[in-house]
């Protein structure tokens, strides 16, 4: 019991900690290839993190300890949340009835502290970013709950391990497949919003006024900024794990092949995000809430289909 | 029993000796504080001994009022409401020593303490009363004492206005309750509270509707919340904490107690309360987002939290109607735990907001800023309260909302039926949670972070220890329930058993078992945060801290250029404009070289200012019009009225 728990914890954390930054690299590479450039090496995010960890800090005189709490919570939350979510066929090490609510609220905690850390600088740009972040997230949150309701209805259980259990494969083939398709789209949109990707936010834009997430972390520097970047890639992998599990519900039962399938799925997802970022422009700001409400409607529709 | 009666008497009369003390001395307030502490301690002993022994305590005395006996009864349901009451009353009275000292407020300090004690005693009485008359005595004392707490500063015009709106609202509610208890007495044959699940369903509709009006008015459910924002903003902060943290819960207590009397619960009761809860939750938090007065904002959050509590109760009622014990226990446990939790964190927020108001001398959030540097401890307390009220782990708000979420997911396990609609409570709760988070990021960020926006904020001082210790006690209680939720579960289990009538055996012990995991996750999160935080702190403590914030190239940023509370909330307020209808004045820029311009925005209450005032103004106009027609000053008409009346009477008699 203890031995298998330790093993699953080790595999989970090793996968998460080592693999997560690669996704950012894959996205950047895809975008570069689309634009006809060679692009940065795939491992560039790792080099960036290593460089940031060696650097010193610069703090604004306006800031307080809350400014440092932002990166700390932003890194701790995905770490803890990853223990609740199954990585493909690998079951989550910690699992109990209702753990998905803890999962959702952990990310809310990280949002709270990222946004307050942004307000701590007293810059109106960062205030703007914080306001946008909390606005869009509270529109994305009901969608997340609707999709969880659909999954709970299909699985009959209330823990993330049963929600994303073996029944998914059969469910895809049954008449619930339509619902699963709809919530896959919804979850992918939530993933894009939460990780501030195009079309909701452009991580590479050059103008502070148009940023959302990037502008909130403008004043962070050195290892604290490194923690933010690392936390962001962990978050992408943890939320991506949901999408990948839903899209690729196969599992072999042997941990190595399951892990390989999962990683392949994540890389495919990163390539897909890269393609979207290459062919789409960022939405105008007033369009974002409309898009999110539209997604909520899709998820309501999916729920109606399984509840009838 | 002697402890409970002692507790009621000591707290209720704690302000009386102060009346005989010197007007400018501080003897009276110390005596009042000591008596309140002694009273709450004595009440706490009664509650704890009841919970530990597992036997409910009863008192039955003959009194001269017809129809019933003087009966007090203490059971786990009452205990769930009494525990936060004792803590909030005690911490508030200590806090009041420095927040509203007699020396600085010789005019109204004694009045405030007299009614602070009286309202506390009255609430203990009504929560333990077993008799309709006794309950109403407690209820009315509480309502009137509440009026005097709200109008502490009765020389201010807006305070008086808030007080009058409160007293009209509360008496409308009391009127409904008188009718309700009369009907209840008629049905059960006695003014004593009936035993649980004994009353027949026949004739219960009117009782429920009257109870919903009376208790819902006190609780502040959405269309009935009209008195709440103004009243809670006007009272001194520790009185607001008591009103918001404890008094409005007596309305919930009434609903919980009332619904326990009936053998069967009609399905529409649960739906009504669930729907009202969802409306209160969403509109309450949306209205809160639009406010820029910190205490009004917190008051609207009380409406929101009462909504969440009502959603828990609504789910539990649906569980009773559909005979799903799991739904009953999760819903009611979530409802009662949220009652406790809201009492704790809302008082904490009101007390820390009071400490800010005390230091800056304004309630406008846009006047604050940078207070975390000037009031580091108050800031930490407020932050703790904000994290707790947003239901974020590892604090207590998460535990109760987690229970309500689980309850909302229960209908999924049933075959498809209308009950399935109840799952919509979960996304509604998520929306409320997201909006509350936005709101508290705004309040905490604009108040405590950044640069001070006015001179008073720049020279603010930290609160004294006597104000900080009560806040720290409340914060510790919040963290305790959040990190060790299993310790509070026996109380909730007892209350659920006492409400649903099912013996404790049908309540599977493992209903709440995952809470052990939640608690473990909380500790894990806490230790991760501490380890990472310490590492970052050690790594950064030599870093330079003397440069300005990056202004995107602009070199001379001023505090006035910071984001304000209104600008932070504007995006969401615009999205909810269909229900809020904010008023915006000015802000238009014209011409090539525009001169100075002003901009202000204001969000009036959706029900009071938008519906009731126009309605009342309209009916007043109609009455004036009629009067000017009838009473027009011509003698001939008056003689005609006399003749007409006589003819009418004659016809009446001959018929």
In this prediction, residues B79-87 reach a mean pLDDT of: 95
Taking contacts as CB-CB distances below 8 angstroms, the residues of chain A near B437 are: 108, 111-112, 134, 137-138
Q: Is B395 on the interface with A (CB under 8 A)?
A: no
Confidence of residue B505 (pLDDT cuts 50, 70, 90): very low
Q: Mark residue B166 as left, alpha or beta (left: phi above 0; alpha: psi -120 to 50; beta: remaining).
A: alpha
Reading the block at residue B469, the tokens are 């210790």
Confidence of residue B506 (pLDDT cuts 50, 70, 90): low
Taking contacts as CB-CB distances below 8 angstroms, the residues of chain B near A222 are: 540, 543
Closest chain A residue to B451 measured between Cα atoms?
A: A122
Residue from A101, A152, A304 whose CB has the most chain B CBs within 10 Å, to mutate: A101
- Tell me the shortest Cα–Cα distance from A13 to chain B, in angstroms: 14
What tens digit of pLDDT does each residue of B366-402 get?
999 899 999 999 999 999 999 999 999 999 999 999 9
In this prediction, residues A217-221 reach a mean pLDDT of: 90
Q: Which of A75, A80, A130 sits opposite B521 (nearest CB)?
A: A80
Confidence of residue B179 (pLDDT cuts 50, 70, 90): very high
| Res B163 pLDDT > 60 | yes
Q: Which of A118, A135, A149 sits opposite B572 (nearest CB)?
A: A135
- Tell me the shortest Cα–Cα distance from A34 to chain B, in angstroms: 31
What tens digit of pLDDT does each residue of B42-77 get?
999 999 998 888 777 888 888 877 767 888 999 999
Q: Between chains, do B445 and A56 touch, taking CB under 8 Å as contact?
A: no
Q: A23-58 burial, b if ≥16 CB within 10 A, otherwise e?
A: bbbbbbbbbeeeeeeebeeeeebbebbeebeeeebb
Q: Is B178 on the interface with A (CB under 8 A)?
A: no
Taking contacts as CB-CB distances below 8 angstroms, the residues of chain A near B562 are: 122-124, 127
Residue from A96, A105, A154 whose CB has the most chain B CBs within 10 Å, to mutate: A105
Please state, in angstroms and rounded to a whole number, the distance separating the CA atoms of residues A32 and B225.
57
Chain A contacts in chain B segment 396-415 (CB below 8 A): 398, 401-402, 405-406, 409, 412-413
Q: Between chains, do A141 and B433 touch, taking CB under 8 Å as contact?
A: yes
In this prediction, residues A164-180 reach a mean pLDDT of: 90
Q: Between chains, do A131 and B571 touch, taking CB under 8 Å as contact?
A: yes
In this prediction, residues A222-234 reach a mean pLDDT of: 94
In this prediction, residues B595-603 reach a mean pLDDT of: 85
What tens digit of pLDDT does each residue of B218-227 get?
999 988 999 9
- Quote the mean pLDDT of chain B: 91
Q: How far is CA B190 from the centre of its chain?
A: 32
- Quote the mean pLDDT of chain A: 92
Chain B contacts in chain A segment 174-233 (CB below 8 A): 208, 218-219, 222-224, 227
Chain B contacts in chain A segment 245-284 (CB below 8 A): none
Whether omega before A73 lies within 30 degrees of 0, making that bond cis, reads no
Closest chain B residue to A153 measured between Cα atoms?
A: B412
Residue A36 placed within a domain? no
Q: Is B326 on the interface with A (CB under 8 A)?
A: no
pLDDT recorded at residue B507: 58
Please state, in angstroms and rounded to a whole number, the distance separating the CA atoms of residues A158 and A145.
13
In this prediction, residues B232-242 reach a mean pLDDT of: 94
Q: Between chains, do B413 and A156 touch, taking CB under 8 Å as contact?
A: yes
In this prediction, residues B170-174 reach a mean pLDDT of: 95
- Tell me the shortest Cα–Cα distance from A2 to chain B, in angstroms: 16
| Res B614 pLDDT > 70 | yes
Contact (Cβ atoms closer than 8 angstroms) between residue B204 and residue B183:
no
Q: Between chains, do B546 and A61 touch, taking CB under 8 Å as contact?
A: yes
pLDDT recorded at residue B59: 82
Highest mean pLDDT among A237-241, B61-65, B129-133: A237-241
Please state, in angstroms and rounded to a whole number, the distance separating the CA atoms of residues B545 and A58.
7
Taking contacts as CB-CB distances below 8 angstroms, the residues of chain B near A216 are: none
Q: Which of B609, B335, B653, B353 is nearest to B474 (CA)?
A: B353
In this prediction, residues A210-236 reach a mean pLDDT of: 91
pLDDT recorded at residue B67: 65
pLDDT recorded at residue B510: 66
For residue B180, what are the contacts with CB-CB under 8 A and spacing of at least 6? B207, B210, B211, B214, B258
Contact (Cβ atoms closer than 8 angstroms) between residue B14 and residue B43:
no
How far is CA B545 from each of CA A57, B457, B553, B634, rounded to the nearest angstrom? 9, 22, 19, 84
What tens digit of pLDDT does each residue of B346-369 get?
999 999 999 999 999 999 999 998
Q: Which of A64, A66, A142 sits opposite B430 (nearest CB)?
A: A142
- Tell me the shortest Cα–Cα distance from A46 to chain B, in angstroms: 20
Confidence of residue A215 (pLDDT cuts 50, 70, 90): confident
Q: Between chains, do B517 and A99 touch, taking CB under 8 Å as contact?
A: yes
Residue A38 placed within a domain? no
Taking contacts as CB-CB distances below 8 angstroms, the residues of chain B near A120 are: 445, 449-450
Domain count, chain A: 1
State what percent of residues in chain A have pLDDT above 70: 100
Confidence of residue B1 (pLDDT cuts 50, 70, 90): confident
For residue A281, what are the contacts with CB-CB under 8 A and spacing of at least 6? A198, A199
Confidence of residue B79 (pLDDT cuts 50, 70, 90): very high
What tens digit of pLDDT does each residue of B453-490 get?
999 999 999 999 999 999 999 999 999 999 999 999 88
Taking contacts as CB-CB distances below 8 angstroms, the residues of chain B near A77 are: 525
Q: Is B382 on the interface with A (CB under 8 A)?
A: no
Chain B contacts in chain A segment 226-245 (CB below 8 A): 227
In this prediction, residues A184-201 reach a mean pLDDT of: 92
State what percent of residues in chain B have pLDDT above 70: 98
Q: Between chains, do B567 and A131 touch, taking CB under 8 Å as contact?
A: yes
Domain that holds residue A101: 46-307
Global ipTM: 0.95
Lowest mean pLDDT among A44-48, B93-97, B391-395, B502-506: B502-506
Residue A40 placed within a domain? no
pLDDT recorded at residue B21: 87
Q: Is A158 on the interface with B (CB under 8 A)?
A: yes
State what percent of residues in chain B have pLDDT above 90: 67
Q: Is B166 on the interface with A (CB under 8 A)?
A: no
| Res A145 pLDDT > 50 | yes
Q: Between chains, do A122 and B451 touch, taking CB under 8 Å as contact?
A: yes
Q: A255-290 burial, b if ≥16 CB within 10 A, otherwise e?
A: beebbebbbebbeebbbebbebbeeeebbebeebbe
Confidence of residue A14 (pLDDT cuts 50, 70, 90): very high
Taking contacts as CB-CB distances below 8 angstroms, the residues of chain A near B329 are: none
In this prediction, residues A67-93 reach a mean pLDDT of: 93
Residue from A99, A109, A208, A284 whose CB has the most chain B CBs within 10 Å, to mutate: A109
Q: Which of B532, B533, B548 sits opposite A60 (nearest CB)?
A: B548
State what percent of residues in chain A have pLDDT above 90: 73
Q: Which of B245, B233, B346, B343 is nearest to B292 (CA)?
A: B233
Q: Between chains, do A131 and B539 touch, taking CB under 8 Å as contact?
A: no
Taking contacts as CB-CB distances below 8 angstroms, the residues of chain A near B533 are: 68-69, 72
């Amino acid at each position: 019991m203890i031995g298998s728990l330790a093993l699953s914890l080790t595999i989970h954390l090793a996968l998460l900690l080592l693999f997560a930054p690669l996704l950012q690299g894959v996205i950047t590479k895809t975008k570069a290839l689309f634009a006809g450039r060679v692009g940065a090496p795939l491992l560039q995010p790792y080099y960036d993190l290593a460089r940031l960890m060696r650097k010193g800090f610069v703090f604004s005189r306006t800031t307080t300890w809350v400014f440092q709490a932002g990166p700390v919570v932003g890194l701790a939350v995905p770490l803890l949340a990853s223990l609740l979510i199954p990585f493909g066929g690998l079951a989550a090490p910690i699992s109990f009835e209702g753990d998905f609510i803890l999962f959702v609220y952990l990310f809310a905690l990280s949002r709270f502290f990222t946004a307050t850390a942004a307000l701590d600088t007293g810059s109106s740009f960062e205030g703007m970013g914080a306001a946008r972040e909390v606005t869009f997230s509270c529109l994305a949150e009901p969608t997340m709950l609707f999709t969880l309701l659909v999954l709970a209805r299909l699985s009959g259980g209330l823990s993330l391990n049963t929600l994303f259990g073996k029944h998914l494969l059969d469910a895809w083939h049954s008449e619930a497949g339509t619902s699963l398709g709809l919530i896959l789209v919804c979850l992918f949109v939530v993933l894009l919003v939460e990780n501030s990707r195009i079309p909701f936010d452009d991580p590479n834009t050059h103008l502070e006024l148009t940023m959302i997430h990037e502008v909130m972390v403008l004043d962070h520097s050195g290892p604290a900024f490194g923690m933010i970047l690392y936390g962001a890639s962990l978050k992408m992998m943890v939320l991506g794990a949901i999408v990948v599990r839903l899209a690729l519900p196969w599992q072999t039962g042997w941990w190595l092949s399951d892990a390989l399938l999962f990683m392949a799925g994540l890389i495919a997802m990163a390539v897909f995000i890269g393609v979207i970022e290459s062919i789409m422009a960022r939405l105008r700001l007033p369009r974002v809430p409309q898009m999110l409400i539209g997604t909520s409607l899709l998820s309501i529709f999916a729920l109606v289909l399984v509840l009838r | 029993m002697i402890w409970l009666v002692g507790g009621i008497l000591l707290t209720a009369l704690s302000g009386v000796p102060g009346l005989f003390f010197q007007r400018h001395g501080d003897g009276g307030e110390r005596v009042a504080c000591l008596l309140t502490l002694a009273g709450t301690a004595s009440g706490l002993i009664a509650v704890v001994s009841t919970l530990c022994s597992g036997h409910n305590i009863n008192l039955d005395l003959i009194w001269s009022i017809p129809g019933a006996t003087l009966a007090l009864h203490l059971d786990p349901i009452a205990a769930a409401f009494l525990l936060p009451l004792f803590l909030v009353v005690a911490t508030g009275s200590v806090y009041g020593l420095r927040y509203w000292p007699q020396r600085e407020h010789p005019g109204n300090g004694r009045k405030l303490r007299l009614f602070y004690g009286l309202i506390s005693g009255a609430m203990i009485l009504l929560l333990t009363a077993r008799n309709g008359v006794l309950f109403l005595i407690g209820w009315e004392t509480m309502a009137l004492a509440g009026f005097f707490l709200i109008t502490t500063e009765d020389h201010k015009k807006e305070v008086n206005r808030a007080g009058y709106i409160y007293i009209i609202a509360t008496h409308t509610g009391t009127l409904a309750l008188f009718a309700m208890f009369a009907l209840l007495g008629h049905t059960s044959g006695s003014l004593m509270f009936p035993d649980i699940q004994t009353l027949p369903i026949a004739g219960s509709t009117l009782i429920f509707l009257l109870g919903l009006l009376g208790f819902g008015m006190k609780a502040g459910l959405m269309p009935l919340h009209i008195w709440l924002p103004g009243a809670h903003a006007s009272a001194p902060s520790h009185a607001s904490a008591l009103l918001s943290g404890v008094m409005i819960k007596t309305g919930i207590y009434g609903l919980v107690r009332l619904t326990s009397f009936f053998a069967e619960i009609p399905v529409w009761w649960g739906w009504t309360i669930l729907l009202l809860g969802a409306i209160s939750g969403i509109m309450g938090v949306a209205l809160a987002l639009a406010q820029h007065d910190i205490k009004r904002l917190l008051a609207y959050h009380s409406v929101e939290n009462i909504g969440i509590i009502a959603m828990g109760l609504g789910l539990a009622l649906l569980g009773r109607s559909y005979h799903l014990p799991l739904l009953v226990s999760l819903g009611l446990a979530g409802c009662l735990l949220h009652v406790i939790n809201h009492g704790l964190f809302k008082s904490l927020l009101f007390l820390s907001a009071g400490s800010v108001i005390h230091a800056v001398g304004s309630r406008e959030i846009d006047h604050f800023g940078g207070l975390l540097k000037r009031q580091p401890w108050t800031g930490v307390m407020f932050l703790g309260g904000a994290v707790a009220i947003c239901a974020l782990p590892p604090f207590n708000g998460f535990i109760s909302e987690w229970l309500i979420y689980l309850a909302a997911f229960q209908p999924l396990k049933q075959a498809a039926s209308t009950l399935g609609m109840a799952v919509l409570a979960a996304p509604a709760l998520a929306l409320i949670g997201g909006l509350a988070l936005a709101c508290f990021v705004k309040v905490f960020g604009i108040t405590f972070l950044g640069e001070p926006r006015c001179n008073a904020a720049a020279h603010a001082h930290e609160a004294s220890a006597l104000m900080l210790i009560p806040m720290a006690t409340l914060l510790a209680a919040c963290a305790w329930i959040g990190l060790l939720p299993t310790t509070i579960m026996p109380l909730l289990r007892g209350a659920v058993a006492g409400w649903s009538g099912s013996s404790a055996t049908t309540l599977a012990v493992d209903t709440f078992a995952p809470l052990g995991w939640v608690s473990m996750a909380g500790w894990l999160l806490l230790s991760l945060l501490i380890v990472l935080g310490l590492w970052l702190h050690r790594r950064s403590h030599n870093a330079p801290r003397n440069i300005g914030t990056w202004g995107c190239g602009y070199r001379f940023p001023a505090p006035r250029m910071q984001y304000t509370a209104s600008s932070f909330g504007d995006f969401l307020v615009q999205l909810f404009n269909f229900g809020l209808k904010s008023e915006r004045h000015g802000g238009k820029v014209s011409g090539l070289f525009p001169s100075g311009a002003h901009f202000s925005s204001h969000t009036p209450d959706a029900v009071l200012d938008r519906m009731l005032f126009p309605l009342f103004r309209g009916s007043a106009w109609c009455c004036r019009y009629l009067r000017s027609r009838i009473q027009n000053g011509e003698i001939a008409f008056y003689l005609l009225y006399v003749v007409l009346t006589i003819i009418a009477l004659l016809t009446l008699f001959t018929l």
